[in-house]
Chain A
Amino acid sequence: MRKFSIGLVVVPLLLQTACQSQEELKQEKYFVEGYQLYTEHCANCHQTDGKGLEALYPPISGSDYLKNKEQIICLIRYGQNEPIVVNGRSFHRPMPANPQLTDIDVAEITTFLYNKWGGESVITDVKEVSKILDTCRVQRERAKVIN
């Protein structure tokens, strides 16, 4: 009987932690893989600490441009050819596109950026990212037709 009652307490506790850690695991996976992808594809210019380099490459850490999350998701994949103003400073070197990054890659990088430097503590889910990427792909194709 005593064993039974312990089981009653322990089993729901285990279930609870299992649930929690699945969420946590997903976030950790996004963050860690996002960090690795950031190191590989972004840190050369934006630096490991996200501070950028002088007037050549804009900072991400402490950047007021982080408020444009949809644009950031788009430019990670499609690059940035127009000048960009970050913290009142204009940067006009183009950022190359990264067509090799998949939707999940972009979602993980975005999660890393916003967890590390954007004050967020949740993931940017790949479903959300796929929608945004679709939208900007269509916009870009339209822009190309007009030009």
Chain B
Amino acid sequence: MYSALKNSFAVVLLGFLSACSSSENRLPIMGERDVITKEVDGKTVTDTAYYQIPPFQFVNQDSLPVSDKTFDGKIYVSDFFFISCPTICPKMKTQMKRVYDKFKGNPDVMILSYTIDPVHDTPPVLKEFATNLGVTGNQWQFATGKKEDIFKTGKSYMVVAQEDAGAPGGLLHSGHFVLVDKEKHVRGMYDGTTEEGADKLMGDIDRLLAEYKKQ
């Protein structure tokens, strides 16, 4: 009994220690989490199930399929925008371009911008926009598809994307950049309309890349 207690003390202590070190170096995992109980080798163990971005399927600027599988084994940054948006989108694209330029050619990092105005922003229109922005290759994916599906996907990234007659351009969306890790966990939300927000994101991408290097 005594030794069992001692053991559990050790485990708790270890737990605290690792908690400390993780809070220093690791980015948080965001979203709701569940504690699940399962049987492993006849023993009951509890585990934490973190929120994951659910599967999705859209079409990109080259009219090719783009899905959650496109980002398997990648860290990626996602945002929601539309081309004719006169307000925050140009700011967001200015900042996202800085992120793109910094991680250009890094095989572990991708960007995914969903348009919330698929009627106007068809693949050829997205392609022209990407080219004019100075984006080549497939590291930065622009996704379009059914409006309802995109709005639903917006919710899955914990951001707002919806129609709103009162908003300029008739569409309302958040100006956030969402950082997703290789396990599809959301690891950070950033203000995509400011330089400071993008700077913080770029710093956190470096931290996240370092996490994977340690493993």
Residues of A within 8 A of B (CB): 44-45, 47, 53-57, 93, 96
Which residues of the other chain, A, contact B131 by a CB distance below 8 angstroms?
55
Considering the complex, give the chain B residue whose CB is closest to the CB of A93: B132
Chain B, range 85-110, C-beta contacts under 8 Å to A: 86-88, 90-91, 93-94, 97
Q: Does B50 contact A (CB under 8 A)?
A: no
Q: How far is the CB of A22 from chain B (nearest CB, A)?
A: 37
Asked whether B133 lies within 8 Å of A53 as measured between CB atoms, the reply is yes
Chain A nearest CB: distance from B95 CB in Å? 11
CB-nearest residue of chain A relative to B134?
A54
**What is the interface of chain B, defined by CB distance below 8 A to chain A?**
86-88, 90-91, 93-94, 97, 129, 131-134
The 3 closest A-B pairs by CB, nearest first: A55-B132, A45-B90, A44-B90
The smallest beta-carbon distance between B113 and chain A, in angstroms, is 14
Chain A residues, CB < 8 A from B133: 53-56
Taking A44-B88, A45-B90 as known contacts, 6 extra A-B pairs with beta carbons closer than 8 A to each other, sorted by chain A number, are: A44-B91, A53-B133, A54-B134, A55-B131, A56-B90, A96-B86
Report the separation of the CA atoms of residues A36 and B181 in the bound assembly, to the nearest whole angstrom. Answer: 39
A86 to chain B, nearest CB (A): 13
**Which chain B positions have C-beta within 8 A of A44?**
86-88, 90-91
Interface contact B90-A54, CB-CB below 8 Å: no
| Inter-chain contact A56/B129, CB cutoff 8 Å | yes
Supposing A44-B91, A47-B94 touch, asked if A54 and B86 sit within 8 A by C-beta, the answer is no
Taking CB as reference atom, which chain A residue is nearest B94?
Answer: A53
Closest to B88 in A: A44
A53 contacts across to B, CB distance below 8 A = 90, 93-94, 97, 133
Q: How far is the CB of A70 from chain B (nearest CB, A)?
A: 24
On chain B, the residues within 8 Å of A54 by CB distance are 97, 132-134
A55 CA to B87 CA, complexed, in Å: 18
- Bound state CA distance, A44 and B92, in angstroms? 9
In the assembled complex, the CB of B87 is this many whole angstroms from the nearest CB of chain A, namely 7
Expressed in whole angstroms, the minimum distance between the Cβ of B145 and any Cβ of chain A is 23
Chain B min CB distance to A107 (Å): 22
Contacting residue for A57 out of B87, B90, B134, CB 8 A: B90
Shortest Cβ distance from residue A80 to the other chain B in the assembled complex, whole angstroms = 13
Question: Are B134 and A55 in contact (CB-based, < 8 A)?
Answer: yes
- Docked CA distance A53–B98 (Å): 11
A45 to B83, CA, bound (A): 12
| CA A57 to CA B134, docked complex, whole Å | 12
Who on chain B is nearest to A53 by CB?
B94
How distant is the Cα of A45 from the Cα of B97 in the complex, in angstroms? 13
A113 nearest CB across to chain B (Å): 18
Expressed in whole angstroms, the Cα–Cα distance for A113 and B128 within the complex equals: 29
**B91: nearest chain-A partner, CB-CB:** A44
Contacts A/B (CB < 8 Å), 24 sampled: A44-B86, A44-B87, A44-B88, A44-B90, A44-B91, A45-B90, A47-B94, A53-B90, A53-B93, A53-B94, A53-B97, A53-B133, A54-B132, A54-B133, A55-B131, A55-B132, A55-B134, A56-B90, A56-B129, A56-B132, A56-B133, A57-B90, A93-B132, A96-B86
